[in-house]
A = this chain, B = another copy of it.
């Protein structure tokens, strides 16, 4: 079983964490691809943690877990903190292949998506 773990920073504002969980559910429903499960996890301030998220998927029988950073910029969290969590998880779950995907902000498709959004302005709010 192959699983996807969407990793966000985590927020004190619980509604922001819930947005990420809802996105993971939407991906599971419509964009599952080869992923039998899609879950959300958080670097800090919210639960589950990355370690807990990977642990739950491994316990559920995942033989492969893809960790995808839901981050816009390649700061310390993306370049150091998340890779370090992945390394620790690999040591704890030698039977599971844990892969790290590029972070959202690095996707070439972001520019096209923004261009599309730019066309969807609220015309009633225009001056």
Contact = CB atoms under 8 A, between A and B. Distances in A.
B116 A109 contact: yes
- Interface size bracket, A side: 35 or more
A51 interface: no
B113 A109 contact: yes
A16 B118 contact: no
Contacts of A19: 73-74, 105
A91 to B, nearest CB: 9
Interface of A: 4, 6, 8, 11, 13, 15-16, 19-20, 23, 26-27, 30-33, 35, 66, 68, 70, 72-76, 90, 94, 96-102, 104-107, 109-123, 125-127
